[in-house]
Structure 1
Amino acid sequence: MHKAKNYLLGLAIALIGSISCSESQDFDQIDALEVTPTVEASMIYVEAPERIINQLTGVNFIQQTFNFDAFAEDFVSENLLDGVVSYELENTTSKPLEVLIEFLDDADNVLDSEFFTMPAAPTALLRRDVAYGMGGRNIDIIRNTSGIRVSAENLGDNSSTSSLPNPMVILRSSAAFRIRLQ
């Protein structure tokens, strides 16, 4: 009798335990998953030695358009949320400079631009971050950009030379954008 009671009690506990611990599984949870990675990449790197800059004065010593199809895919363009474009300019030349960066659409229309004035060396590294999307400039600028034009002008003479080793102007640009995947 005692054995039968223990057997029934054990069976009842096992039955209650298996019922109370099981729950139907929801395999549709993937539909509610939101993934928004931040994609970072270098955009532009341009350097011009002072000897090249000395060859031209009062005109652009750099004027170049770079292809930019990073957001040409519809999926990426439509799911682009926001981001930041970062610029770094370094001038170790004896020349004051102006640098213009323009974002262009397919028809070479200017969508946005950034203008920099740099004194002659010695100067500090010039850094600027420009936000697009939430709280920044319109994200459609980036979505519709297919080219980036860089122009730089020597505002000084064409004979002086910096006393610093290997004098040049360097432009670096990178971007970090959030993209919604679902």
Structure 2
Amino acid sequence: MDEIVICDTNAAIHLAIICPEVLKTPDDRCKIVIHAIVKQEVHKLNQNENKKKRLGTVLDFLLKEVTTDSKTHLPPKDKEIKHHRRIQKFEGGLDPQFVSSGSSHQDRCFLILAKEHGAKLLTNEKTLFNLGVAFLGTESTWRTSSALEKLLELQIITNDIVQNGLNSMGQFEEELHPACKNKVRELGFTCS
């Protein structure tokens, strides 16, 4: 196995729009992991009328077609609590410009999952991304564009799949993070 990538909820939604087959049938060379936490978050989003109206088919796909990975789990409670405290110390020391909002319990769980399993963390959320860089390192913290680049490099997806997926982002009123947009443009794709 080449890479395990722990995917947060926002990144899962973006990948479900751009390249759903990668989530439906993970490739061992770059396995995108959807944890039960993501399913719980997606279920909550599906209860929100506005989100359901805008992202209904994407949320349904994530709930019905994508299986959660049962091999990635949090460590024993005492170790998990130590990790939570360590992350909160990192957060307290981050420059305020890198923190848009405080990290949630779920955010810290994504970081812990990545740390415990030697995995990459895939997130587009500002605070979680910056905490990932501090806690896991630059090489282990990805935005959607990094995952797309890796999937293209391994020929798991094609340029056409990516471009068609990027084109369909607008119909769901979803936007990539500005850094992702710049990266996908560097890779030769058009992105609104």
Indicate the structure with greater strand content.
1
TM over 0.5: no
Indicate the structure with greater helix content.
2
TM class by shorter chain equals under 0.3
TM-score, normalised via structure 2 length: 0.20
TM-score, normalised via structure 1 length: 0.21
